[in-house]
């Protein structure tokens, strides 16, 4: 066979095998449908037919997907049960198959998927668990960056702070949740099977510091403020918005929040606006 035809044949076989492995159809229906193609493309062994040999890889694919997602979502597995998690993974990768060399990308659609998967009464609970575990995994995998220190913050003149913008570390994830997942997450991750608690709005910051991932519960006003700051809203405007949302907020409380966030290392840098040139001066 000429080299160009050999390469074309190999590429076609690879595409066919990928379709066979990730196809969401049941094994029996898939094997019936693809039996002729399997016989053409794959030789039988002494013990197995052509289609049975390829089906082994299909089974291995689902097991590998299950293993990869379980490493990121142990609490979710506890919530749905062992068999339920297998069904969840099979249903999920049928819609969002692995398309990357890294399993880090496999989890990116799981929260959206859970919004329509399983009993309706459990969807928000499961999606919140997955959101927290996604944030933990993403924070761990986030790029490294510098950290704004208390000394660097203290070096900024008071007059520059209202227009200053804070840059969040790449690992920071801010979550608005419908259930108090953070309160029960350790039990779920230890294997406890817990039913959904009563809904309760909670807010959470997830970030990496010193090669460990941390969870920091927030009040709603603190969540609103740190979200504004992480999006680059100037500090003065962000503080005015926070005060308007909660007129009872005291400056001392705001100051304590900011001190803690800097101490926790959730900001990478502070960016001050460029100094204005005096009128009548010329740049050389």
Whether the pLDDT of residue 282 is over 70: the answer is: no
Contact 106, 130 (CB under 8 A): no
Once rounded to an integer, what is the mean pLDDT over residues 56-69? Answer: 84
pTM above 0.85, yes or no: no
Q: What is the dihedral of CA 118, 99, 37, 9, to 10 degrees?
A: 170
SS3 182: helix
| 255 closest CA partner among 271, 242, 268, 270 | 242
pLDDT at site 196: 92
pLDDT at site 24: 54
Domain ranges (residues) in the chain: 73-271
Residues comprising the chain, all counted: 284
Once rounded to an integer, what is the mean pLDDT over residues 11-27? Answer: 64
Query: pLDDT, tens digit, for every residue of 88-108?
Result: 999 999 899 887 777 888 999
User: What is each CA distance from 43 to 9, 19, 20, 35, in whole angstroms?
Assistant: 15, 18, 16, 12
pLDDT at site 79: 96
Query: pLDDT, tens digit, for every residue of 156-210?
Result: 999 999 999 999 999 999 999 999 999 999 999 999 999 899 999 999 999 999 8
Assign 3-class secondary structure to 231-261: CCCCHHHHHHHHHHHCCCCCHHHHHHHHHHH
Rounded Cα gap, residues 147 and 211, in angstroms? 13
- Split at pLDDT 50, 70, 90, the class of 247 is confident
């Amino acid at each position: 066979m000429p080299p160009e035809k050999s390469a074309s044949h190999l590429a076609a076989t690879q595409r066919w095998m990928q379709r066979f492995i990730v196809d969401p159809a049941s094994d029996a229906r898939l094997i019936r449908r693809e039996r002729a193609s399997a016989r053409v493309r794959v030789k039988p062994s002494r013990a197995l037919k052509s289609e049975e040999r390829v089906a082994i890889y299909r089974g291995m694919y689902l097991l590998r997907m299950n293993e990869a997602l379980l490493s990121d979502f142990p609490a979710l597995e506890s919530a749905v049960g062992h068999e339920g998690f297998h069904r969840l993974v099979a249903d999920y990768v049928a819609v969002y198959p692995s398309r990357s060399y890294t399993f880090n990308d496999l989890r990116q659609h799981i929260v959206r998927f859970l919004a329509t998967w399983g009993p309706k009464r459990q969807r928000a609970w499961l999606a919140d668990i997955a959101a927290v575990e996604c944030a933990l995994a993403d924070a761990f995998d986030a790029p490294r960056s510098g950290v704004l220190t208390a000394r660097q913050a203290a070096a900024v003149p008071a007059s520059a702070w209202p227009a200053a913008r804070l840059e969040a570390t790449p690992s920071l994830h801010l979550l608005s949740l419908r259930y108090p997942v953070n309160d029960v997450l350790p039990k779920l991750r230890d294997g406890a099977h817990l039913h959904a608690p009563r809904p309760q709005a909670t807010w959470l910051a997830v970030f990496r510091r010193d090669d460990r991932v941390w969870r920091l519960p927030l009040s709603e006003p603190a969540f609103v403020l740190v979200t504004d700051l992480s999006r680059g809203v100037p500090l003065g405007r962000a503080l005015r918005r926070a005060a308007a949302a909660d007129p009872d907020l005291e400056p001392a409380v705001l100051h304590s929040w900011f001190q803690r966030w800097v101490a926790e290392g959730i900001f990478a840098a502070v960016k001050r606006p460029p100094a204005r040139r005096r009128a009548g001066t010329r740049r050389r």
